[in-house]
Amino acid sequence: MQKVFAISVKCVVLVIGFYATQVFAVVVETDSAAVTVTVVDSAPTRLKVGLALSGGGAKGAAHVGVLRYLEANHIAVDYIAGTSIGAYVGGLYALGYSADDIENIMLNLDWNSGFDDAVPRQALNYHDKQDFDRFNLPFEFGSLDGEILMPQGILRGQTMGNLYIKSAGIVPRQRSFDGLAIPFRAIATDIVTGNAVVLDSGNLLTAMQASASVPGILQPVEIDGKYLADGGMVSNMPADTVREMGADIVIAIDIGSELAPKEQLKDSFAILAQLSTMMTRANAVQQISNLQPQDILIRPDISQLDTTDFSSMPLGLEKGEQAAIVHKEQLLALQISAEHFAQYQAERLAYKQELLAFQQQPIDSIVLVNNSETSSKTIETALSITAGNSVEAEEIVEAIDRVYALNTFERVEVEALSSADHGKELQLKTQQKSWGPNFFDIGFSWEEDFGEISDLKLDLLYSMNNIAGTDGQLRFELSSGRAKQLASEYRLPLDSLEKFYWKTRYQFSQEEQLYFWDNKRSLKTVTKAHNISTSLGINVTNNMIIELGFSAETGEIEGPTIVNVDLDYDTYSSFALVSYDSLDSYSFPRKGTLFYFKGAYSKDELQPLTLPGVGEVVGDTELFNYEFAFKHARSFKQHTLINKIKVSGTDSDQISLIHTHELGGFLNLSGLHKDALVGSQLIYGSLIYQYRIDWNGFGGRMIPIYLGASAEAGNVWQYKSERGLDDLIYASSIFIGTETEFGPAVLGFGVNDQHHKTLYLTLGKTF
């Protein structure tokens, strides 16, 4: 058996028509992916039935209800044309899937996942994870030759494309959609000319997706040099297209929305929705007016359904079937005999089975079409699919996600080609972000404890890629708030797989440090410092790095309140860093582990200083300082337990004003204000329980709500000799939070055994 997509069947199907009968033979040949249909007339032609399926988002489940009625009553469909969700349902039906198959597929898909093209945190590499947490706003800007650029849509359509693959698997490129189990057309809009484009060949799944790409929301799909968007703008119910295909009778299913009455137009969102409805409704009304007397217009009652509420699909199925029953008399006139309908279904099933057989065949070759600066080796390693193996649809989606997680692409697509010469070829296409190659990233956080701390922070990042014709990246960072920062950093991969890298960084910082007595502010210092560092690193895995490097810092510490501190210092360090991060979310993790250790041998140079109540702080010293952090999350159903440990300090018995560590704040010894405790030695541990509630928010979108509580213990000490577990402060907290487009949001209350109580409200801040 050749490894090509082919149907080797010769069958004669008797179909009883509306007026008479016809005998025809279907011969599907094996040259490439094309399927040739030969019709041999032996009787008067019966009237051909065409199906026109309109767009309407989640309301498209009504189409399946109508199909179920047609199948139950032995009504064969000869042609299909669809727009948007109509193209999705029609495309699946044209591949040979039954109404029950399509219902099962649609009800088991996570449709909401198709509206989030952000790479999940756990899939990012270690460095991108850190940027993900800090630069949390979803705005995407880039620049080229001094021009500010933006994406062509809020979404790239990446995850939506994955839903199409999960629905039908990889469908081989078609010379003509006439060769499908039922001839098919998808309607799209040329966003440049505004004209309708009838898609009749090529990649079926791409055609289906182009037809549903809502302008401004989903990026246009490029096919044959044309930028294509949702066909609903020009032909939301393509009855004319299906008639041009050869249909004598058109069954038109209209699920388009009606214009809202004046009393419902209460805000700008309602007005925008009305404008959208105007565009789609006007052309649908035109199509309806062109229907012929023999045509059948079915209009399900979708008044209770919303375009974006995919949880309402079961109701849509019922409404579609009920609407078909209303036209029972007209539809039953199109019945064919049970015997001939069984043959019709058998032919469609044979096509579907051959498609499934093709999908299960081993891959003969993999071709990479790399339209990016990312090395082909890196992409192939991430793809991790080899020729000679067969892969399921889910495995292909996972492979696509791995490549997309490299975080440099606008779209990653897979297409199957089949020919006698090359067998089954899997083609991977990568498209570099069109709004680059230089990018802006923005971060925002707000922290409030309704007492001593109110901190609004804004982070900006401008990254320039492919510096001087290399794979190097130059970054410029700016942070505002209590911890101000201005930095530049250069990263250079040292091998083609970017496993080894060199990094050098300059940073100017100005940070306020508040000191508290009995949880009340008593002293403030300001540290200004210039720091330069260089290091060599290894990306051990996607989640783990090791770095060895040197740093030098010069700065001054000023205390403008209570104690007049004015201290200049210089410090030189050699350091080693090991870090592992597989958390799916930093603030509300459900699984994963974070491990961080940094050890540094430092030489400090500063003049001696005497502090009231502390004594003399020594000048020049050499010491070893370290930081260790551990965080682990494990879940069972809706329940999650999180362990946190932090230990840091120096090996010196002297107090240090340079190598200090802070403790205090939400889930950082709750009950205290943020960083209320400052010292040279720190120990902290906590056990956090969180319960997740999946709330179906606006438009049926699932929003996670977290309810939690913590048990905590920790303290800081000035001297190593003072450190001990018998001097711990015990604390606890309760909180409610969620993940938003602006990062984590949480409202919490903390209390400790020192009788301190604090209310916390944060947005965009990791904890």
For residue 720, the Cα-to-chain-centroid distance in whole angstroms is 47
Q: What is the mean pLDDT of residues 96-117?
A: 93
Q: What is the mean pLDDT of residues 536-557?
A: 96
Side-chain half-sphere CA neighbours of 722 within 13 A: 15
- Report whether 223 contacts 201 (CB < 8 A): no
> Quick one: which of 751, 563, 557, 547 has its CA closest to 658?
557
Question: d(Cα 646, Cα 631) in Å, to the nearest integer?
Answer: 9
In Å, how far are 98, 178, 352, 416 from 349, measured between CA atoms?
Answer: 8, 16, 5, 21
DSSP class of residue 232 equals: G
Is residue 528's pLDDT more than 60?
yes
Query: What's the pLDDT score for residue 549?
Result: 98
Amino acid at the residue 465 = N
In Å, how far are 431, 531, 751 from 149, measured between CA atoms?
Answer: 16, 33, 48
Query: What's the pLDDT score for residue 295?
Result: 96
Which single residue is written with the structure tokens 């948007």?
Answer: 84
- Report whether 208 contacts 186 (CB < 8 A): yes
Question: E strands along 592-620, which residues?
Answer: 592-606, 609-611, 615-617
> Quick one: which of 430, 431, 432, 427 has its CA closest to 385?
427
pLDDT band at 732, cuts 50/70/90? very high
- Report whether 180 contacts 201 (CB < 8 A): no
Between CA 571 and CA 498, with CA 130 as vertex, the angle to 5 degrees is 90
Question: d(Cα 200, Cα 209) in Å, to the nearest integer?
Answer: 14
> Quick one: which of 641, 638, 548 has its CA closest to 597?
548
Tens of pLDDT, residue by residue over 272-288, are 666 767 767 778 888 88
- Neighbouring CB atoms inside 10 A of 420's CB total 12
Name beta bridge partners: 546.
538, 578
DSSP class of residue 3 equals: S
Is residue 634's pLDDT more than 60?
yes
Q: Assign residue 11 a region: left if phi > 0, alpha if psi is -120 to 50, beta otherwise?
A: beta
Is residue 374's pLDDT more than 60?
yes
For residue 564, the Cα-to-chain-centroid distance in whole angstroms is 52
pLDDT band at 519, cuts 50/70/90? confident
**Residues of the chain with pLDDT > 70: what percent?**
89
Query: What's the pLDDT score for residue 129?
Result: 96
> Quick one: which of 49, 463, 485 has its CA closest to 248?
49
Is residue 618's pLDDT more than 60?
no
Q: What is the mean pLDDT of residues 610-615?
A: 58
Q: Assign residue 84 a region: left if phi > 0, alpha if psi is -120 to 50, beta otherwise?
A: left
Query: What's the pLDDT score for residue 1?
Result: 34
Pairing state between β 438-448 and 141-144: antiparallel
The mean predicted confidence, pLDDT, of the chain is 88
- Report whether 23 contacts 40 (CB < 8 A): yes
Tens of pLDDT, residue by residue over 554-581, are 999 887 655 567 788 999 999 999 999 9
Question: d(Cα 256, Cα 59) in Å, to the nearest integer?
Answer: 9
Query: What's the pLDDT score for residue 611?
Result: 60
In Å, how far are 62, 81, 335 from 295, measured between CA atoms?
Answer: 19, 15, 15
Q: What is the mean pLDDT of residues 698-725?
A: 87
* Token pair for 549: 């490097």
* Token pair for 37: 């249909």
Is residue 669's pLDDT more than 60?
yes
Q: What are phi and psi of 403, to 5 degrees?
A: -70, -45
Most confident of 155-159, 642-646, 700-704: 642-646
Query: What's the pLDDT score for residue 602?
Result: 94
Query: What's the pLDDT score for residue 450?
Result: 87
pLDDT band at 116, cuts 50/70/90? confident
Query: What's the pLDDT score for residue 42?
Result: 36
Name beta bridge partners: 508.
486, 530
Question: d(Cα 87, Cα 187) in Å, to the nearest integer?
Answer: 7
**Quick check: helix, strand or coil at residue 719?**
coil
> Quick one: which of 63, 166, 192 has its CA closest to 110?
166
Name beta bridge partners: 566.
558
Query: What's the pLDDT score for residue 415?
Result: 93
- Report whether 122 contacts 583 (CB < 8 A): yes
Name beta bridge partners: 744.
739
What is the value of pTM for the model shown?
A: 0.85
Question: d(Cα 215, Cα 242) in Å, to the nearest integer?
Answer: 25
Is residue 619's pLDDT more than 80?
no
Q: What is the mean pLDDT of residues 321-342?
A: 95
Tens of pLDDT, residue by residue over 392-422, are 999 999 999 999 999 999 999 999 998 877 7
Contacts with 269 (C-beta within 8 Å, 6 or more apart), sequence order: none
- Neighbouring CB atoms inside 10 A of 691's CB total 13
* Token pair for 310: 């995919």
Identify the helix (H) or strand (E) that includes residue 316.
helix 313-326
Question: d(Cα 585, Cα 77) in Å, to the nearest integer?
Answer: 49
Query: What's the pLDDT score for residue 512?
Result: 87
* Token pair for 4: 């090509």
- Report whether 575 contacts 602 (CB < 8 A): no
**Residues of the chain with pLDDT > 90: what percent?**
68
In Å, how far are 294, 442, 455 from 477, measured between CA atoms?
Answer: 68, 10, 19
SS (H, E, C) 180-249: CCCCEEEEEEECCCCCEEEECCECHHHHHHHHCCCCEEECCEEECCEEEEEHHHCCCCCHHHHHHCCCCE
Query: What's the pLDDT score for residue 270?
Result: 67
* Token pair for 141: 């800007």
